[in-house]
Amino acid sequence: MTQSGAQQPDGLELRRILGVGDAVVIGLGSMVGAGIFAALAPAAQAAGSGLLIGLAVAAVVAYCNASSSARLAALYPASGGTYVYGRERLGVFWGYLAGWSFVVGKTASCAAMALTVGAYVWPGQSHVVAVAAVVALTAVNYGGMQKSALLTRVIVAVVLAVLASVVVVCLGSGAADTAHLDIGASGGAGGVLQGAGLLFFAFAGYARIATLGEEVRDPARTIPRAIPLALGITLVVYAAVAVSVLSVLGADGLGRAAAPLADAVRAAGVPALVPVVRVGAAVAALGSLLALILGVSRTTLAMARDRHLPGALAAVHPRFKVPHRAELAVGVVVAALAATVDVRGAIGFSSFGVLAYYAVANAAAWTLRSTPASRVVPAVGLLGCVVLAFALPWVSVGVGAGVLGLGAAAYGIRRWTSARRP
């Protein structure tokens, strides 16, 4: 078994080139992405007037997860994120289960983001555009981390500018009504929790910083700084957007909206901004997809190193210093999913898988030497992940639990067959 932090064989080392700013931008590219354009409407439909409460709950769970991930990443600065942390702190099986949850959940999320690009760029040919987006971004990632970080900076700047325009237009319009911001829970406690679980889909990108641990300079200092910074900026942006859109559409109108931000600027009396919002949504989805492919390929690399996935996927390109076979494999699978699946189902399944992943991260953080008070954060994070996962729509829970069970069964079979070999 490969120990985290151990020297990898020649040719298997990644290049440490990312500083705090780069890591924050990659985290923002993952979080301030298509989630804010797509997750608000179904979350409002579930939570009703409790949408802002649901946003707060999702943020608290995300903060706990981020804190646990940052502490662990400082100790284990290797590619793989919670796959490595679970393996080192809880045992091989729990690390494997975390890695499996991440890879399958985020692969579904990649497909959802690719389809979001297609829906905004060319609705009539969304699957074709989605596949093309996956191929293009896989090629960008193949060219090296510096190219990926540069493209992510551009994408984040464009998306933040679009979101700022939406906030200014909505809050400055005559259609804004503060009565729409009355905080209640018309969806009930269950609806608020389901809304929080759906909104968590939009927060989950900070894991990308941890999964890139082998490509970060001075990871013990950089990662614990970058994760809370990226999460804090994202929370401020999401809160501002949610308040501005609610002020124009109200919870009921937001819940019925097919394209909530575009509908909001139209209701605010500025229809000319609708095409800009559509472009922003497409660019945001591209940013999320770029960062997702990065994260999934690095976890695939880590699992391949430990032979939980085919060992050939552990290869690192001699020139570009990226896990090129893992990136190509992820790109092929995501392209196939983007050509066939539905975006709504992919989001729910992805949320379940990612919440399972962070449950392992919090359990691993619980084992760190610390004071009883410092164990409150991982305890709250673990409980929050479990509650939000099982508050998701029952189809997402059923499919997610079934896929995790298949992964556990595959692990058990592999261990059993290995033990029987002479």
Q: How far apart are CA 327 and CA 147, in angstroms?
A: 15
pLDDT at position 265: 92
Question: Do 52 and 183 contact (CB within 8 A), yes or no?
Answer: yes
In angstroms, the CA 2 to CA 362 distance is 22
Alpha-carbon dihedral 212, 294, 363, 359, rounded to 10 degrees: 160
Residue 314, Ramachandran bin (φ over 0: left; ψ between -120 and 50: alpha; else beta):
alpha
The pLDDT of residue 183 is: 57
pLDDT along the chain (422 residues), means of 10: 43 65 78 77 86 91 88 78 91 94 89 83 85 90 64 81 93 72 66 90 72 70 82 89 90 83 90 90 82 82 86 87 89 91 79 93 90 86 96 91 94 86 66
| Helix (H) / strand (E) containing 402 | helix 394-420
pTM exceeds cut of 0.75: yes
In whole angstroms, what is the distance from residue 125 CA to residue 140 CA? 23
At 376, list the tokens.
């409150």
CATH number of 20-415: 1.20.1740.10
Q: Which residues contact 230 (CB under 8 A, 6 or more apart)?
A: 23, 24, 27, 28, 31, 205, 206, 209
Rounded Cα distance, 91 and 96, in Å: 9
Residue with tokens 């389809």, as numbered in its chain: 115
- Alpha-carbon gap, residue 323 to 81, rounded angstroms: 15
Q: So what's the pLDDT on residue 3?
A: 41
* CA gap 279, 275 in Å, rounded: 6
HSE-CB of 406 using CA atoms within 13 angstroms? 9
* Residue 223: C-alpha distances to residues 201, 356, 386 (Å): 21, 22, 25
Residue 181, CA distances (Å) to 192, 194, 265, 288, 326 in order:
15, 19, 17, 29, 46
Q: How far is CA 290 from the centre of its chain?
A: 11
- Looking at residue 321, its pLDDT comes to 79
Of all helices (H) and strands (E), which one includes residue 210? helix 207-211
Residue 215: C-alpha distances to residues 22, 78, 295, 328 (Å) = 11, 8, 12, 19
pLDDT for res 389: 95
Task: Please state, in angstroms and rounded to a whole number, the distance separating the CA atoms of residues 228 and 88.
Answer: 23
C-alpha triplet 405, 409, 414: angle, nearest 5°: 150
Residue 337: phi, psi to the nearest 5?
A: -65, -45
How far is Cα 260 from Cα 254, in angstroms, rounded to an integer? 6
Enumerate the domain spans of the chain: 20-415
